[in-house]
Amino acid sequence: MKSLRKPKFLILAPLLLTAGLLCPCAVLAQEPPSAPVPKVPQDAPPPSQTRPQDSQIPANQQNPSDSQTTLKFSVNYVFLPVTVKDGDGRLVADLTRSEFRVFDDSVEQRLEFFSAEAFPLSVVVLLDNDLKTKDAEQVESSLSAILGGLSGNDEAFVCRFDSNFHPGKGFTRDQDKLLTELHRTRLSTDRPDVTGPDPGGPYSGPTINGQSAVSPGAPPIAASTMVIGDKSTKALDDAVYEGSQLLKDRGRDRRKIIFLISDGENGKTNHYTYDNTVKELLRYGVSVYSLGVGGGFYERKFSRLQSYAHDTGGDVFYAAKRNSLENLYSRVTEQARNQYTLGYNPRGNDKAKDYHTVEVRVRREGLSILTREGYYSVTGPR
């Protein structure tokens, strides 16, 4: 498979693949959004037919509840959510259709859909369950601030991971329920007794308000990430893979993201490889926004967090203290929701390929682009 780690341009799409679809983003939602969102006609209008206000409304001034349409499209269409920043890292919201160029397998495409409207979010909050005590306390105390970046149309699913993946109670749009769940989240900092007769054996599992969080009759949960010497058994790759599976069937009119909040440590006990995990993320239009906690910006252990963000068209942030984490939550949701959406029907590319490279350019100088580098087709070889 073609190397995915190319920081120059980052490509991302919001929608899911289904059988026979070229677009990396097309399955029906299990649960339709409560408010309508941006729409593409089935035959994708030429540029002159796109509503003029789509290119005039700044993305960061829109609310998903204001959207008036729903995405409908031909099976061949590819849609790319694109974030554009200036040299100071601020979102650029005043670009027009004519300022974008899109290349599919190095062939320039005719841009047939353009929108700057905001989309509702489906978010998996993926919490590292084996941080140092100080870092765990910092993350726990900041979690309720996640609500500040969510709207009434957004939905979130809180999960934890260590050597295993621990899903929470499912997606919810009820902010009261989500706040209660976030308040009850306790990150484990316990280590198994590696000097005992059964190091790394089962333990009673996490607790909520002093009570076991494991359902009665459920099998024992493996202990929090074991560290023997300098070797960690933390399964970060597995956790991200599982997060992609939770998001793959969410609505096609939603931005699907993973909040990966971790110190970046990753063991060698993962069942899924990095490449396989990224392939799932790309196939289902999931982008990873990594929030690194503990340590310094240049520490090598953050490289996994950077790679997931870069290769899926997300972004990476670093938090040195609690209030910086709280601010980052809002920045991530604002950035994920307010993106340009570019749509085209691929022409002139290699239809036999499974993976197609994509490059997005803007004519205005001094701007950086965050979007994915490609997408997977279900029509090519597996």
Query: What's the pTM?
Result: 0.70
User: Quick check: is 293 in a domain?
Assistant: yes
Question: Tens digits of per-residue pLDDT, 93-125?
Answer: 999 999 999 999 999 999 999 999 888 999 999
Residue 291 lies in a domain: yes
Question: Is residue 104 situated within a structural domain?
Answer: no
Query: 3-state class of 203 per DSSP?
Result: strand
Whether 304 is covered by a domain: the verdict is yes
Asked if residues 169 and 179 have their Cβ atoms less than 8 Å apart, the reply is no
Longest dimension (CA), the chain: 73
pLDDT at 118: 87
Residue 133 lies in a domain: yes
> According to the model, what pLDDT value does residue 57 have?
34
Tokens 């979010």 belong to residue: 121
CATH number for the domain that contains residue 252: 3.40.50.410
Question: Running along the chain, 382 residues long, what does each successive block of 10 average in pLDDT?
Answer: 42 35 34 39 36 35 42 69 93 95 96 91 95 90 91 94 93 93 79 34 33 35 40 88 96 89 92 95 93 70 90 89 81 90 91 91 95 74 34
Domain range for 308? 121-188+223-336
Rounded CA gap, 122 and 125, in Å?
Answer: 10
Structure tokens at 314: 């997300």
2 alpha-carbon distance from chain centroid: 21
The dihedrals phi and psi of 341, each to the nearest 5 degrees, come to: -115, 120
Number of independent structural domains in the chain: 1
Give the span between the Cα atoms of 201 and 220, in whole angstroms: 9
18 is a domain residue? no
Contact between 81 and 282 under an 8 Å Cβ cutoff? The reply is no
24 within some domain: no
Encode 209-221: b = buried (16+ Cβ within 10 Å), e = exposed: eeeebeeeeeeeb
Tokens of 275: 């490449």
pLDDT tens per residue across span 30-77: 333 333 444 443 333 333 333 333 333 344 444 444 443 455 555 568
Mean pLDDT of the chain: 74
CB burial class (10 A; 0-12, 13-18, 19+) of residue 354? Answer: middle
How many whole angstroms separate alpha carbon 323 and alpha carbon 325? 5
Q: What is the pLDDT of residue 124?
A: 97
- Give the up-direction half-sphere exposure of residue 106: CA atoms within 13 A in the CB hemisphere: 1
- In-domain check, residue 246: yes
Joined together, the tokens standing for residue 297 give 């910006």
